[in-house]
Structure 1
Amino acid sequence: MRISTAQFYESSAANYQRNFANVVKSSEEASSLVRVNTAADDPVGASRLLQLGQQASMLDQYQANATTIKGTLGATEAVMTSINNVLQRAKELAVSAGNAGYTDEDRKANASELGQIEEQLLSLMNSKDENGKYIFAGSKGDTVPFTRNNDGTYSYNGDQVTLDLAVGDTMSMATNSTGWDAFQQALNTSRSQVTMTSPPVDDGRVTLSNGQVSSNVSYNNKFRSGEPYTVDFVSGTQLKITDAAGNDVTAEASQGGAFDPTSKTGQSVSFRGVDLTLNINLGAGDVPGAVLPGHSFTLAAKPDTFTATRSPGNPTAAQVTTSSITNATDYHASFPSGAAVIKFTSATDFDLYAAPLTANSKPVSSGTMAGSVATASGVSFTFTAAPVPDTGDQFSVAVNTHETQNILDTVSQLKTALNTPTNGNAIATQKLQASLASGIANLASGTDQLSSALSSVGGRGQALENQMDTNQSLVLANTQTQSAIRDSDPAAVMTRLTLQQTMLQASQLAFSKIAQLGLFNKV
C-alpha cells in the first residue's frame, strides 16, 4: 500500500498532538491530583459527584438549621428554668401566708413580693431571642405574647404554630415553644363555684368553698353531666345533693353527705371529682338541728366568659362593654370554641365567624342588633351607646372556658387574696384559706405544665444532638466518596505520565528518522 508524504506527515502530526495532549492532561492531574474535572473525563463519575455535591449542600443546610435550633432551645430552656424558679418562690409565699400566726400586714408583705413576681413573670414570658423575636409568640414573633387586660387578667396574643426546620432528610424539628403550650394549658383546679341561694341574707353559719378539681376524669365524665347541683342542709348533721334533673346523688359524696357540726376546722366534702371545704360557724346558743336546715347552695362549673376587643382598623371606635351567655343551648350548639370574630355588615346587621377570619370563612350565625346588644349563637354582647358599630367593624372574641388558667392570672389572684383583710373575721379567714388552697393547687398545675414544656425542649435537644452526630457521619462519608471518585492515585498518575512522556519522545524520534527516508534525500 502506498502512503503519500502528505499522509505520513498528517498521521505523524496527529499522533504527536494526541500524545502531547495526554502528557499535558496527565501533568495537570499530577499537579492537582483531581481526576474528574469535566463530565467528559468520567460521565458516570461526574453524575455521581453532582448528586454527592447536592447532598453535601443539604447536609450543610441541615447543620446550619440544627445550630439555629440548638441556640433557640438553649435560650428557651434558660427562660423556662428562670420562670420555674420564680414560681417556686410564689408557692413558698402562698404556703407561708396560711400560717395561723400571720397578720394582715404579714400577708400584705407577701402580696407585695407576689406583685414583683407577677411583673418578673410577665417580663420573662415576653422574652426575645437574639434576633429580637418573642420566644413564646408562636409564629407571630413580632407580637407581644402576653399582655395585661384592663380588668387585671392576662391574654395570650400569640398563636399555637411552631416554626419547624429540617435537620435531616426525613426529620424536622420545632425551633420554638409556644406560650400557649407552656403557660396557657395549665389545668385550672378551681373551675367550679358555689353560690348560696338560701337564706337570702347570709347569716355566716355555713360556708362552702368553691370546689377544687381532684379528678379530671370524674369531673368531666360525671360532674359536668349533672350540673347545676343543689346542696341542701336537711338536718344538723346531714346535707343532700341533687342534680339538675332532681335526682338524689348524695350517696356519691364523701361520708354520704354527713358532717360534724361541732368541728372547728374545715371539713372536706368530695363529690364527683370535686373537693369542697365545709365550715360550720355556730354562735352561742345555736342548736345545729334548728339553725342549719334551710341553708342551700348551688354547685356548678364556672360559666364561660368572653373577652371582646375591637380590631385596630375599625371604621368606628365602638367597644364591647359586657358579654354573657343568654341561651346555653345555642351557645353549646354553635358558638366557636376558643375564639370568634364578629363582623358588622351594616350598622345593625352582623355575622359571627370562627377565628381566624379568612377569605373562605363561612358565618357560623348572623343577627341584627337589638338596641346596643348583639346576640350571636347564644351570647349577648353589649356595645357602647356612642359610638355605635358600623359597616366593616370587627371584634375579636376570646372564650375563657376556665378549663385552664394562665400562671400570671394565678399569681394575680393570690396577690388579691393576700391583700384582703381577715384579722378577727372567721368567715374572711375561711375564704382566705380556700383562696390559698386554690392558688397553691393552680401553681402546682402551672409548674407541671411548665415542666412538661421544659421536658419537650430537653427531648428535642437530645434528638437534635443525635441527628447532628448522624449528619456529621454523613458529611464524612460524603467527603470520602467524592474523594474516591474525583481524586487521583498519585502513584498511578505518575506511572501513566512517565509512560506518556516516553511515548511522546518515541513518536518524536520516529518522526525524525522516518522523515529522512524520503526520495529526495537519495537524489
Structure 2
Amino acid sequence: MRVTMQNLYTNNIHSLQNTTMDLARLNQMLSKGMSILRPSDDPIGAVRVMANERDLASMEQYVNNIDSLSTSLGRSETYLSGMVELQQRMREISVATNNSTLSPEDRSAYAQELDELLEAMVDNVNAKDDGGNYLFSGNRTEQQTIIQDAAGRYVYQGDNSQREVQTSGSSWMTANVTAEQFLFSNASQDILNQTADYIAVLNDPALAPDDAAFATAADAMQTSLNDTLDSINSAITDMGGKQNSLSLMKTSHEEMVLFNKKVIGETQELDYASATAEFNVKLTALKVTQQTFVQVSQLTLFNHL
C-alpha cells in the first residue's frame, strides 16, 4: 500500500484533533469533578443519573408544596384560633347580659363591646395571605369573604370549593377551609348575623331578660356560639392532623432527596487519580504527535536537494 505525503499529513491532523478533543473533555471533567459530561461517556450511568434527577426534582417539588401548604394552614389556623378567643368573650358577655339586675345602660355598654368583637370577627374571616388572597373564600380568593348587603346582613361571597395540593406521587391534601363551612353550614343562624341581632336586643331599652323576645335572642346567641365553636374547633383539629402528616411526609421526601443526590453523585463522581493519569498520557501523546507533525510537514524533495 502506497503511503503518500498527503496521507501522512491527514493522519497527523486527525490525531492532533482527536487528542486535543480528548484533553478538552478530560479537562472539563476535572474542572467539574464529573465523569459523565454527555450520555456517550457512560450510557448506562447517564440513564441512571437522569432517572434519579427526575425523582429528585419530584421530591423537591413535593417538599416545596408541603412547605407552602403548611404555611397556608398555619396562617388559617392562627385566624381561626383568634375567632375562638373572640367567641369566648362573646359567650361571657351573652351570659352576663342575661341578667335582670342589669340596667339598660349596662346592657348598652355590653352591646358596644360586643359590636367591637363582631368587627374583629369579621376582620378575621376576611383575612388574606401574603399574596393578597382571601383565605376563607374557597376558590374565589379575589372576592372578599364576608360583606354586608343593602339590608345590613352579613353574606358570604366565596364558594365552597376545596383546593387540592399534591404532596407525594399518590397523595393530595385539601389546602383550605371556607367560611361557608364553619360559619354558614350550622343548624343555627351564623354567629355574625346572630351577634348583630343580639346587639340590637341589648340596645333596645324596652327589652329585658324577663321578656320572651330577649330570652329567645339570648338562647339563640348561645346556640349559635356553641355550633360555631364546634365547627371552628373541628377545622383547627383537622388542620393540626394535616400538619402532623405533612411533617412526616416532608421528612420522608427529604430523605429521598438526599438518597437521590447520593446516587447521582456516586454515579457521575470522577475518579481524579485515574482521570489525571489519563490526562497526562493524552498530553504526552499530543506533544509527540505535534513533534511528528512538524517533521512530517517538512518531508518534501526540496528539503533534500
TM-score of the aligned structures, taking structure 1 as reference length: 0.51
Provide the C-alpha distance between the structure 2 equivalents of 1:505 and 1:151, rounded to a whole number of angstroms: 94
Q: Is the 8 A contact 1:147 1:157 kept in 2?
A: yes
Relative to structure 1, the CA distance from residue 508 to residue 440 in structure 2 (aligned partners, 3 Å threshold; closer, same or farther) is same
Relative to structure 1, the CA distance from residue 502 to residue 433 in structure 2 (aligned partners, 3 Å threshold; closer, same or farther) is same
User: How many pairs were matched up?
Assistant: 303
Q: Unaligned 5+ residue runs, structure 2?
A: 298-302
Q: CA deviation at 1:90?
A: 0.3
Provide the C-alpha distance between the structure 1 equivalents of 2:144 and 2:31, rounded to a whole number of angstroms: 60
Partner of 2:3: 4
Relative to structure 1, the CA distance from residue 512 to residue 152 in structure 2 (aligned partners, 3 Å threshold; closer, same or farther) is closer
Relative to structure 1, the CA distance from residue 25 to residue 422 in structure 2 (aligned partners, 3 Å threshold; closer, same or farther) is closer
Provide the C-alpha distance between the structure 1 equivalents of 2:88 and 2:296, rounded to a whole number of angstroms: 101
Q: CA deviation at 1:86?
A: 0.6
1:453 aligns with 2:262: no
Provide the C-alpha distance between the structure 1 equivalents of 2:78 and 2:50, rounded to a whole number of angstroms: 42
Q: CA deviation at 1:13?
A: 5.7
Provide the C-alpha distance between the structure 1 equivalents of 2:154 and 2:12, rounded to a whole number of angstroms: 93
Partner of 1:417: 201
* 1:270-300 superposed Cα distances (whole Å, 9 cap, x missing partner): xxxxxxxxxxxxxxxxxxxxxxxxxxxxxxx
Q: CA deviation at 1:41?
A: 2.2
1:182 aligns with 2:179: no
Partner of 2:300: none
Relative to structure 1, the CA distance from residue 142 to residue 24 in structure 2 (aligned partners, 3 Å threshold; closer, same or farther) is closer
* 1:366-405 superposed Cα distances (whole Å, 9 cap, x missing partner): xxxxxxxxxxxxxxxxxxxxxxxxxxxxxxxxxxxxxxx3
Q: Which has the higher helix share?
A: 2
1:87 aligns with 2:87: yes
Relative to structure 1, the CA distance from residue 507 to residue 130 in structure 2 (aligned partners, 3 Å threshold; closer, same or farther) is closer
Q: Is the 8 A contact 2:29 2:37 kept in 1?
A: no
Decide which moves more: 78-87 or 461-470. Answer: 461-470
Partner of 1:323: none
Q: Is the 8 A contact 1:154 1:406 kept in 2?
A: no
The alignment yields a C-alpha RMSD, in angstroms, of 3.5
Partner of 1:480: 262
Relative to structure 1, the CA distance from residue 442 to residue 504 in structure 2 (aligned partners, 3 Å threshold; closer, same or farther) is same
Decide which moves more: 116-125 or 48-57. Answer: 48-57
What aligned pairs does 1:169-248 form with structure 2 within 5 A after superposition? 169-188=169-188
Letter in structure 2 aligned against 1:181: Q
Identity of aligned residues (%): 22
Letter in structure 1 aligned against 2:193: D
Provide the C-alpha distance between the structure 1 equivalents of 2:62 and 2:96, rounded to a whole number of angstroms: 50
Select 2:190's aligned residue among 393, 406, 413. Answer: 406
Q: Which has the higher strand share?
A: 1
Q: CA deviation at 1:137?
A: 0.9
Q: Is the 8 A contact 1:187 1:446 kept in 2?
A: no
Q: Unaligned 5+ residue runs, structure 1?
A: 189-404, 516-520
Letter in structure 2 aligned against 1:4: V
Relative to structure 1, the CA distance from residue 92 to residue 9 in structure 2 (aligned partners, 3 Å threshold; closer, same or farther) is same
Q: Which runs of 4+ in 1 moved over 6 A?
A: 506-515
Higher relative contact order (CA 8 A, sep 6+): 2
Letter in structure 2 aligned against 1:480: K
Provide the C-alpha distance between the structure 1 equivalents of 2:68 and 2:82, rounded to a whole number of angstroms: 22
Q: CA deviation at 1:114?
A: 1.5
Provide the C-alpha distance between the structure 2 equivalents of 1:496 and 1:456, rounded to a whole number of angstroms: 61
Partner of 1:354: none
Q: Secondary structure at the match of 1:76?
A: helix
Of structures 1 and 2, the larger Rg is shown by 1
Relative to structure 1, the CA distance from residue 186 to residue 4 in structure 2 (aligned partners, 3 Å threshold; closer, same or farther) is same
What aligned pairs does 1:174-323 form with structure 2 within 5 A after superposition? 174-188=174-188
Provide the C-alpha distance between the structure 2 equivalents of 1:432 and 1:69, rounded to a whole number of angstroms: 45
Q: CA deviation at 1:181?
A: 1.6
Partner of 1:467: 249
* 1:390-428 superposed Cα distances (whole Å, 9 cap, x missing partner): xxxxxxxxxxxxxxx3111221232233334345x95x1
Partner of 1:492: 274
Q: Is the 8 A contact 1:186 1:406 kept in 2?
A: yes
Q: Is the 8 A contact 2:191 2:221 kept in 1?
A: no
Letter in structure 2 aligned against 1:416: A
Q: Secondary structure at the match of 1:173?
A: strand
Relative to structure 1, the CA distance from residue 431 to residue 4 in structure 2 (aligned partners, 3 Å threshold; closer, same or farther) is closer
Partner of 1:435: 217
What aligned pairs does 1:92-103 form with structure 2 within 5 A after superposition? 92-103=92-103
TM-score of the aligned structures, taking structure 2 as reference length: 0.82
Decide which moves more: 179-188 or 84-93. Answer: 179-188
Q: CA deviation at 1:504?
A: 5.0
Partner of 2:156: 156
Relative to structure 1, the CA distance from residue 435 to residue 51 in structure 2 (aligned partners, 3 Å threshold; closer, same or farther) is same
